[in-house]
Amino acid sequence: MREVTVSYLVYCIFRGPLPAALEIPDGVGGYRVFTANYDGLGVALSKLPEPDPPFDMSNRLAYERVVESFYCHLTVVPIRFGCRVECPYDAVALLRENADAYRTHLRELDGFAEVGIQVCLGSPVAGAETSRRRILPDWLSLRSLLSTAAGPNAKQSSDLGAEPDATAPNALIENLCDSLHGSFVRHKVELPSSRKSGLLSLHFLVPRDSVETFRSAARHLPANPSLQLQLSGPWPPYNFVDALQR
């Protein structure tokens, strides 16, 4: 009989006690999610009997539901899907060893949400809004703080480079950001992975109390018949944890 090695999947790091209104859904594989704490910091975990959970839609959505349940009530640092520890004590050790970095980043993200705009280059339709759930980026990682093997589809944001002829996308990005100036504090760009994909993703860090203002401004961007804009969010700030990756 094959021995099953149990480890624990890490979802997010947060600050403060859990509010009474927080309802945590079951995690990946249907396992109960629980928390471990150290000096005002907390981390959400669930049991993971498989050493490498399948990187499929069902598991990724289960992961996102857990992170978003915490995010509805707390400031969180989302952890890349697949990051794990051998036991809850190791999670507490991570909090203890990196407490200052986590506290700093939680302060930086406090009161903010992520809103996304995807630009479908060359589409004849403009102004669309997506209703699908957001799927976390494959490249999101905290490898410097969590000891884990990266999944086969994982890549780092630094790998996202421009095509040699990037003049048109760069001009488009500049125009979009200028049009939304004052409604966000930071943005990140994910350029098309190839000339064929034609999908440009922009991620904006927006004050939570100004999300609807941002969304309204994005919906009223000047129409362009050659572009389709898809607006999504608000989400936990998946794309703005890069300061902890170094």
The verdict on residue 1 lying in a domain is: no
Enter the tokens of residue 139: 């490249």
The verdict on residue 85 lying in a domain is: yes
pLDDT, residue 217, reads: 86
Q: Are 205 and 114 in contact (CB under 8 A)?
A: yes
Half-sphere exposure of 214 (CA within 13 A, CB side): 29
The verdict on residue 23 lying in a domain is: yes
pLDDT, residue 174, reads: 83
Same domain for 56 and 123?
Answer: no
Which of 78, 109, 140 terminates a domain? The answer is 109
Which of 92, 109, 126 terminates a domain? The answer is 109
The stretch 96-123 carries a mean pLDDT of 87
Same domain for 238 and 116?
Answer: yes
Please, is 198 exposed, middle or buried when counting C-beta atoms within 10 Å of its C-beta (0-12, 13-18, 19+)?
middle
pLDDT, residue 37, reads: 95
The verdict on residue 195 lying in a domain is: yes
Q: Quick one: what percent of the chain has pLDDT higher than 70? A: 70
Q: What is the pLDDT of residues 191-225, one digit of tens each?
A: 766 555 567 788 999 999 999 999 888 887 766 65
Same domain for 75 and 20?
Answer: yes
CB atoms within 10 A of CB 63: 24
Buried/exposed code over 130-149 (b: 16+ C-beta within 10 A; e: otherwise): eeeebebbbbbbbeebbebe
Residue 112 pairs with which residues in a beta bridge? 207
Q: Are 113 and 235 in contact (CB under 8 A)?
A: yes
The verdict on residue 53 lying in a domain is: yes
Total residue length of the chain: 246
Same domain for 22 and 86?
Answer: yes
Same domain for 116 and 161?
Answer: yes
Q: What is the pLDDT of residues 11-26, one digit of tens each?
A: 999 998 999 999 999 9
167: left (phi over 0), alpha (psi -120 to 50) or beta: alpha
Cα 123 from Cα 64, distance rounded (Å) = 29
Same domain for 235 and 168?
Answer: yes
Q: Tell me if the pTM is above 0.85.
A: no
Same domain for 104 and 134?
Answer: no
Same domain for 121 and 231?
Answer: yes
Range of the domain at 101: 7-109
- Strand 199-207: give its sheet, edge to edge: 186-190, 199-207, 112-121, 227-235
> Considering its fold, how many domains does the chain have in total?
2
Same domain for 39 and 147?
Answer: no
Same domain for 105 and 146?
Answer: no
Same domain for 105 and 166?
Answer: no
Cα 203 to the chain's mean position, in Å? 10
Which of 83, 109, 135 terminates a domain? The answer is 109
Cα 244 from Cα 246, distance rounded (Å) = 6
The verdict on residue 215 lying in a domain is: yes
Same domain for 179 and 218?
Answer: yes
Residue 125 has pLDDT above 60, yes or no: no
Residue 163 is which amino acid?
A: E
Cα 106 from Cα 41, distance rounded (Å) = 10
The verdict on residue 15 lying in a domain is: yes
> 190: pLDDT confidence band, cut at 50, 70 and 90?
confident
The verdict on residue 2 lying in a domain is: no
